[in-house]
């Protein structure tokens, strides 16, 4: 009973933790723009709070820089089950312009943690980010919750 009630609540209340692993900051300010009254992220029940211990969704931006190679896995381990990882922008998918000879990035991010949704774009529009979170998060959280039972 309690478990199923938690599932219902969680499917409409999503805590998002944003991790910048070494990008140009463009995707991060598009996530900040999502908080603005025009897009109003909280009307979908999404709350952005950079704390992995209470997050349901991990938004990863940026090509993985040297310092993040081990830290990213530790942050992923801190997120409680069920968890969803959304990669925002071209950097976590391919490394974008940084993934060239002489660089110090270790893209893609799927080498380090499993990725559920990918949003290409440099940077993607705010509406695309919110659409991706909403299309993947409630279903995945509900399905994984049931599996654990």
Q: Is 122 in the site for other proteins (CB under 8 A)?
A: yes
Q: What burial class does residue 44 get, using C-beta atoms within 10 Å of its C-beta: 0-12 exposed, 13-18 middle, 19+ buried?
A: middle
Q: Which of 12, 36, 73, 135 binds other proteins (CB under 8 A)?
A: 36
| Binding map of other proteins across residues 51-90, x = CB under 8 A, - = no contact | xx---------xx-xxxx--x---x---------------
CA nearest to 84, candidates 102, 58, 61, 106:
58
Q: Can you tell me the distance from the alpha carbon of 136 to that of 140, in angstroms, rounded to the nearest whole number?
A: 6
Task: Using the rule CB under 8 A, give the single segment among 7-15, 32-40, 111-119, 128-136 that binds other proteins.
Answer: 32-40
Phi, psi of 51, deg, nearest 5 = -135, 110
Tokens of residue 32, six digits: 């900040």
Q: Interface with other proteins includes 102 (CB under 8 A)? A: yes
Which pair of structure tokens corresponds to residue 92?
């976590």
Can you tell me which of 49, 69, 73, 135 binds other proteins, judged by CB under 8 A?
49
The reply to whether 98 sits near other proteins by the rule CB under 8 A is yes
Residues 95, 105: Cα–Cα separation, whole Å: 7
- From 30, 56, 57, 118, residue interacting with other proteins (rule: CB under 8 A): 30
Binding site for other proteins (CB under 8 A): 17, 19-30, 32-33, 35-38, 49-52, 62-63, 65-68, 71, 75, 96-98, 100-105, 122-123, 125
């Amino acid at each position: 009973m309690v478990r199923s009630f938690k599932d219902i609540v969680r499917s409409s209340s999503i805590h998002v933790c944003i991790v910048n692993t070494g990008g140009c900051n463009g995707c991060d300010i598009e996530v900040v723009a999502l908080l603005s009254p025009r897009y109003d992220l909280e009307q979908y029940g999404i709350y952005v709070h950079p704390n992995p211990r209470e997050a349901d969704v991990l938004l990863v931006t940026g090509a993985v820089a040297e310092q993040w190679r081990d830290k990213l896995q530790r942050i992923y381990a801190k997120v409680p089950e069920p968890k969803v990882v959304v990669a925002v922008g071209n950097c976590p998918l391919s490394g974008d312009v940084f993934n060239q000879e002489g660089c110090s990035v270790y893209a893609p991010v799927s080498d380090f943690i499993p990725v559920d949704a990918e949003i290409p774009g440099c940077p993607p529009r705010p509406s695309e980010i919110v659409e991706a979170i909403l299309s993947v998060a409630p279903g995945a959280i509900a399905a994984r919750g049931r599996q654990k039972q």
